[in-house]
Copies of this chain bind each other. A is one copy, B any other.
Amino acid sequence: MNATMDSIDLELAARIRSDILQGNYAEGERLSEAQLCQTHNVSRTPVRLALRLLERERVIRRSEGRGYLVQNPTVADILQAVQVRGHLESLAARLFALSDKRASFLPDMEHAINVIEDCADAGSLDDAAIRRAQAANKTFHTTILKACGNAYVSYTCEQISHLPMLAAGSMVFDRSANDTADQSERAMFRLRLGNAQHQVIYEAIKAGDPVRAEGMMREHSHTMIEYIQTFEKRDKSLTVMDLVAYSGMPSDTE
- Chain A interface residues toward B at CB < 8 A: 56, 58, 80-81, 83-84, 87-88, 91, 150-153, 155-156, 159-160
Contacts and interface: CB of A to CB of B under 8 A. Distances in A.
A214 to B, nearest CB: 10
Among A152, A153, A159, the most chain B Cβ lie within 10 Å of the Cβ of A152
A150 B91 contact: no
The SS class assigned to the A binding surface is helix
Contacts of A84: 88, 91, 150, 152-153, 156
Report how many copies the assembly holds.
2
Contact of A58 (B83, B88, B151, B153): B151
Given A84-B150, A156-B159, 5 more contacts: A58-B152, A80-B151, A87-B88, A87-B91, A88-B88
A223 B81 CA distance: 28
Contacts of A83: 91, 150, 152
Contacts of A81: 152
A150 B88 contact: no
Nearest to A163: B152
Contact of A80 (B56, B87, B152, B159): B152
B56 A155 contact: yes
A153 B155 CA distance: 14
A234 to B, nearest CB: 24
B80 A155 contact: no
A8 to B, nearest CB: 14
